[in-house]
Amino acid sequence: MSIWEYANPVKFLKLSDKVLPFFAGFSIIGLAIGLFWGFFFTPDDYRQGSTVKIIYLHVPAALMAINAWFMMLVASVIWLIRRHHVSALAAKAAAPIGVTMTMVALITGALWGQPMWGTWWAWDPRLTSFLILFLFYLGYVALWSAIDNPDTAADLTSMLCIVGSVFAILSRYAVNFWNQGLHQGASLSLDKEKNVADVFYQPLLFSIFGFVFLFLTLVLIGTRTEIRLRRTEALRLRKDRE
Amino acid sequence: MMALLQRDLILAIRAGGGFGLGMAFFLIVVVLVPLGIGPDMVILAKVSVGILWVGALLACVLSLDRIFSLDYDDGTLELLLTSPIPCEAVVAVKAFSHWTTTGLPLVIISPILGLFLGLQAGDLKWLFVSLFLGTPALSAIGAFGAALTVGIRRGGLLLSLIVLPLYIPTLVFGSIVASTGVADLSNNSALLILSAITLVAFSILPFASAVVLRINLR
């Protein structure tokens, strides 16, 4: 019994069928608690007023935008090494979700930045590197859709994901070098004693929990769709041959 | 390998090879920018380094599909991959010949174009140095992108969408080297990082490009 057993599409479909309702449920519960608590039962910040509440969308979306790319990288490496189709398809399914998360983070950030910084957009390192991440996602998605042969597409996009990761990290440091920041430091980190004030912190954790499961749910649904698409394609080809 | 380099260079320089088109494009960018933002030399001098770097980037991207696609279409590429030269070396040679035919001419004419954009004569050396150190990386990274899209019909736009984000670090450090140099500030660290990017891109990326090329010709 090992995890690789679920690289078999049939087993993967069975397992994901079972866990999907739970993941979706966790996601709804987490988002419901986090957002309701955050929006209606936390006080306004003494300087930012009620705009502080956008944190419950902005921070989790930004977190998932980066983690989605990381997941794609892991899935790509697994595909290149072990040739499990489920892995390649999971990377394919994660990309549009990552694009959406990046856009949510950028848009909520702009909405918050207008009243707080007095500008929708600034060429701040964090903002810029997110925009760059968005471009990397677009290139990746475009390459997937440009190639007909599914195995070639999976190989090439995996290579792009690996090389792109190196350059994405390099770009992150490059823009740090390039301009001083306006954006506050990380809202959450493991090595700091005090992050955001407790009143905002606790609902934020629920919201992040909800976003993580939202991402997992969407990736699973996307991967299942891709597997079935691949299967119908194979059936169609077989029928053509007969 | 020398024969391959010689062949690529001759093909590029002879008629129809597109040699000089990159230079002409670069010149047009430099003419269009002042027309777009006005003839004020002070403003132009401020943006000149960025304009020249972005122009070099675009001129490079436009000529990228020439690296592999012609050889792919007539089957030469398959012969090259079955030849005793390792695939990685083929990619490296092709990237190098791309640089000599597009990057190097840009580097050489960049001081003249810098004068058009209001840079002082003493500052031109920084523009020259930064482009000279940075453009080889553009060719090596571009060869990777060209290898990715070699099998795709009309992959030009896709190629630029994939390659331009990969150019960001080179662009940032290249323009930092030039602009801090022009402002008489210390630019040692940026200079070192830019050289490192070029060296790493030329020594490691050909391996990735070769993997991609083999996948495409499978």
pLDDT in tens, A189-228: 555 555 566 677 888 889 999 999 999 999 999 999 999 9
Task: From residue A154, give the alpha-carbon distance in Å to each of A78, A151, A231, B99, B130.
Answer: 11, 5, 16, 30, 37
- State the pLDDT confidence band at A45, using cuts at 50, 70 and 90: confident
Q: Is the pLDDT of residue A102 over 90?
A: yes
Q: Tell me the average pLDDT across B80-97.
A: 90
pLDDT for res B198:
94
Query: Cα–Cα distance between B154 and B49 in angstroms, integer?
Result: 32
Scan for tokens 């930064």, then name that residue. B130
Scan for tokens 């009309």, then name that residue. B154
- For chain A, how many residues are written? 242
How much is the mean pLDDT over chain A? 87
Phi, psi of A45 (to 5 degrees): -70, 145
Going by the DSSP 8-state scheme, the letter that residue A124 receives in this structure is -
Q: Is the pLDDT of residue A174 over 60?
A: yes
Cα–Cα nearest to A200, from A64, A52, A46: A52
Digit-coded pLDDT (tens) for A103-114 = 999 999 999 888
pLDDT for res A9:
85
Cα–Cα nearest to A211, from A75, A51, A23: A23
pLDDT for res A30:
93
* Range of weakest confidence among A47-56, B34-43, B170-179: A47-56
Going by the DSSP 8-state scheme, the letter that residue A43 receives in this structure is P
∠ CA A113-A119-A125, nearest 5°, is 70
| Structure tokens given for A44 | 């306004």
Task: Return the residue in A141, A171, A172, A180 with the most chain B beta carbons within 10 A, the one to mutate for interface testing.
Answer: A171
pLDDT for res B16:
61
Phi, psi of B120 (to 5 degrees): -75, 150
- Cβ contact, residue pair A171, B218, below 8 Å: no
DSSP string, B99-137: IIIIIHHHHHHHHHHHHHTT--GGGHHHHHHHHHHHHHH
| Structure tokens given for B178 | 């030039």
Query: Cα–Cα distance between A158 and B173 in angstroms, integer?
Result: 27
**Which residue stretches of B117-187 are H helix?**
124-148, 156-182
Q: Tell me the average pLDDT across A47-60.
A: 83
Q: Tell me the average pLDDT across B109-131.
A: 89
Nearest CA distance, A204 vs chain B (angstrom): 32
- State the pLDDT confidence band at B210, using cuts at 50, 70 and 90: very high
- Cβ contact, residue pair B161, A142, below 8 Å: yes
Cα–Cα nearest to A158, from A76, A88, A234, A84: A76
* Range of weakest confidence among B47-61, B125-139, B177-191: B177-191
Digit-coded pLDDT (tens) for A120-136 = 888 888 888 899 999 99
B202, B92 in Cβ contact below 8 A? yes
Scan for tokens 């279409």, then name that residue. B73
pLDDT for res B211:
93
**Which residue spans within chain A are E strands per DSSP?**
none
Q: Is the pLDDT of residue B73 over 60?
A: yes
- Cβ contact, residue pair B169, A170, below 8 Å: yes
Scan for tokens 């194979």, then name that residue. A234
pLDDT for res B213:
92
More confident residue, B191 or A179: B191
For residue A138, the chain B residue with the least C-alpha distance is: B161
pLDDT for res B22:
82
Phi, psi of B217 (to 5 degrees): -100, 10
- State the pLDDT confidence band at A3, using cuts at 50, 70 and 90: confident
- State the pLDDT confidence band at B136, using cuts at 50, 70 and 90: very high
Q: Is the pLDDT of residue B93 over 70?
A: yes
More confident residue, A78 or A7: A78
B144, A166 in Cβ contact below 8 A? no
- Cβ contact, residue pair B168, A178, below 8 Å: no
Judged by DSSP in three states, B84 sits in coil
Q: Which amino acid is at B190?
A: A
Considering only CB atoms, A160 lies closest to which of B155, B162, B169, namely B162
pLDDT for res A192:
52
Considering only CB atoms, B158 lies closest to which of A146, A171, A173, namely A146
Q: Is the pLDDT of residue A182 over 70?
A: no
How much is the mean pLDDT over chain B? 88
Q: Which amino acid is at A95?
A: A
pLDDT for res A165:
95
Query: Cα–Cα distance between B194 and B134 in angstroms, integer?
Result: 6
pLDDT above 90: percentage of residues in chain A: 52
Query: Cα–Cα distance between A92 and A61 in angstroms, integer?
Result: 19
Q: Is the pLDDT of residue A90 over 90?
A: yes
Q: Is the pLDDT of residue A97 over 60?
A: yes
Q: Tell me the average pLDDT across A84-104.
A: 94
Q: Is the pLDDT of residue A94 over 90?
A: yes
| Structure tokens given for A229 | 């698409």
B202, B140 in Cβ contact below 8 A? yes
For residue B147, the chain A residue with the least C-alpha distance is: A156
Query: Cα–Cα distance between B86 and B154 in angstroms, integer?
Result: 28
DSSP string, A15-27: HHHHHHHHHHHHH
Q: Which residues pair with A49 in a beta bridge?
A: A45
Nearest CA distance, B86 vs chain A (angstrom): 19
- Cβ contact, residue pair B162, A175, below 8 Å: no
